Every structure is written in structure tokens, then in C-alpha cells.
Amino acid sequence: MRERAGAHGCQLHTKETKRPKSRLGAYLANKVSNLSARLHPKVTEVFLDESYCNVNHTAGSSWVVKHSPRYVANGAGQRYCIVGAGSVFVKNGGLCAEWVPGSIKSWPSHLKGDGDYHGNFTGELFELWFEELCQLLQSRYGPCRIHMDGAAYHKVIEDPAPASSKTKAVMVKWLNEHGVTVGVNDYTKKQLEQLIAQPTNVRVFALLTRQNHQLPTVP
């Protein structure tokens, strides 16, 4: 409630309305909440990402001795995918950062296209690596905040709901397995679809929960 002067000097009371936070605003507020007065993380922050490198990779421009030739291998060579995680934490009162020991992995890419190296990193591969990472983090730092982008394979659905193309029998079986008691003849297919529609459980979140880690949602 806020007071302001009216046309004749009387006090008018106006009600302030709070604007809902944007997704970005909520994300930033969540990040700031983990900072101490010295702007050090209260809980270890972990950042992970994937990239690639070709065996014969060379920089487009570089310094060389004048009149000295620069030799470049013919062709880009075999491509390798790389994944790793870095951590930022406080140790003995000081701010520290390091690659999480044992987190960096690489493997040869089998896709020839240059467009999207993410195609070499499936949900199954990511889940195996991420599960090991969560255990490493817990043993080295305790509960952490893990930051990652929204690549599709980061969000593999745990026990996905049946698609609308499935039969009523399949839908009913799935609902019964999830604690919803229905019969094949109790509802129309459209009604079953509405019963099935619910927030999905992503396996990544299940892995995080088991190790008490947090995953701030990136907008």
C-alpha cells in the first residue's frame, strides 16, 4: 500500500501490484541467492558442456617467424567429441576453480556432417556420464549446483507417457502403473489422454535428487 497526495491535499491510498518475475529474472535471482557477502558461492557451482575438436585442427591465423613457412596437415582429420565439467568453490576462505577430476571424456565422432556435433552425444551416453559425474561431485564437494544448457539429450524423459497414437489398453496400463485406477471402458481415448497429461519426470532430475544436487533451470 502506498500513499500519495490527491487534488485537494487529501491522502489517497493506492495498491501496488507486483509484476511476476520473468524466467530470466527468477534464474538470476536464484544464482545470486548462492553468493556470500564476498560474492563467493555458498554451494559449489558446477558448469558442464560439450564440444569437439579435429585431430588436424589449426588456428585460422597465428604468429610465425618472418619468411618462415607454415605447414598445415591435409584435411581436418578425425573428429573427437569432448565433454567435461568445471567447478567453482571456496577452500580455506579463498575462491578456487578446477576441472572436476575424472569428468573429462572424449570419443571419436562417427558423423561426417559439420553442423551439429551433438548428434554424437545421445541421451543414453549423457545419462551414463552424468550419473558418474553426480557421484564424483558428491564425494569431492558434497551437494552442488549444476549448470547446463538445454540440449535435447539433457532431458530424457523417465518412463515417458504413451503417445496419443497408442491404444486405450496401453494408456490404461500406463495409468494403472502410476497409481490411477481406470478401466478400458471407463473413459474415452480423449479423456485418457487428459488423465495422462502431467508434468514429466526427467531422468537427469532423478539422478540429481539421489545425490542431493541442484539444477537451476536455464531460461
pLDDT tens column, 117-145: 445 566 677 888 888 999 999 999 999 99
Q: CA-CA-CA-CA torsion for 37, 40, 45, 50, nearest 10 degrees? A: 130
The CB-side HSE value for 169 (13 A sphere, CA atoms) comes to 0
Question: pLDDT, tens digit, for every residue of 29-78?
Answer: 888 999 999 999 999 999 998 888 888 877 777 788 888 877 777 777 88
Question: pLDDT, tens digit, for every residue of 95-125?
Answer: 999 999 999 998 887 654 544 444 556 667 7
Question: What's the rounded Cα separation, in Å, for the pair 219 and 27?
Answer: 7
Averaged pLDDT, 181-190: 81
pLDDT computed for residue 117 by the predictor: 45
The answer for residues whose C-beta is within 8 angstroms of residue 204's C-beta and 6 or more apart is 127, 130, 154, 155, 156, 215
Task: Say if residues 118 and 145 touch (Cβ distance below 8 Å).
Answer: no
Mean pLDDT of the chain: 78
pLDDT computed for residue 84 by the predictor: 94
Residue 139: C-alpha distances to residues 125, 134, 142, 143, 211 (Å): 22, 9, 6, 9, 10
pLDDT computed for residue 110 by the predictor: 66
Q: Indicate whether 202 pLDDT > 50.
A: yes
- Domain layout of the chain by residue ranges: 21-55+76-149+203-219, 161-199
> Can you read off the three cell numbers belonging to residue 23?
524466467
In terms of phi and psi (left: phi > 0; alpha: psi -120 to 50; beta: otherwise), the region of 195 is alpha
Give the confidence band of 21 by pLDDT, cuts at 50, 70, 90.
low
In terms of phi and psi (left: phi > 0; alpha: psi -120 to 50; beta: otherwise), the region of 209 is alpha
